[in-house]
Amino acid sequence: MIKGESIELQFRPRCYQKRKNIPYFEPWTYKIRQDSITGWCSWWAYRTDINAAAVEETAKVLAEKLRDYGYVYMQIDDGYQSDYSGLPDHRLKTNPEKFTGGLSQMFQLIQSNRMKPAIWVNVHFGDANFVGQHPSWFLALPDGSPHKGRWIDYVIDGSSQEAISIH
């Protein structure tokens, strides 16, 4: 609701619990971070075309131009991984054509420029057969069927011990 020159936000966390069938979603119990999380994400600049040369060049520019203004993190988004299936093992291995030195090289390129490395990891799967084989790993609709998002496919249920313990 907007009134005059100010904005009033209404916090309705139970809405997410019910509509998304996430009964453990209780953000009012979480400690609020006191410092700012500021940084850069590769997605908007490179989409899936990120590579070691782009990381190195961008880290240098960020450190030189924006580090003193609070930019601390450099997050590498989609495109670094060896495969797009969403399987956890593929998120831990870089595409060898883009990052010959693996995750270590990527992180060193960022850290050597006084930035903190961050990485995007996938928690959703597009393979309906895989989801069907492991239904307890994924968020479900009230009728028990797996919840499929508009663009994120099937999302892992973070409260599923079976899902989070796979390697």
Domain spans in the chain, listed from the N-terminal domain onward: 2-31+124-164, 39-119
* Backbone torsion region of residue 47, taken as left when φ is above 0, otherwise alpha when ψ lies between -120 and 50, otherwise beta: left
Looking at residue 66, its pLDDT comes to: 95
User: Comparing 133 with 5, which gets the higher pLDDT?
Assistant: 133
Looking at residue 135, its pLDDT comes to: 92
Match 């601390």 to its residue by tokens: 72
pLDDT at 129 over 60: yes
User: Comparing 111 with 161, which gets the higher pLDDT?
Assistant: 111
**Mean pLDDT of the region 39-48:** 95
Alpha carbon distance 122, 86 (integer Å):
6
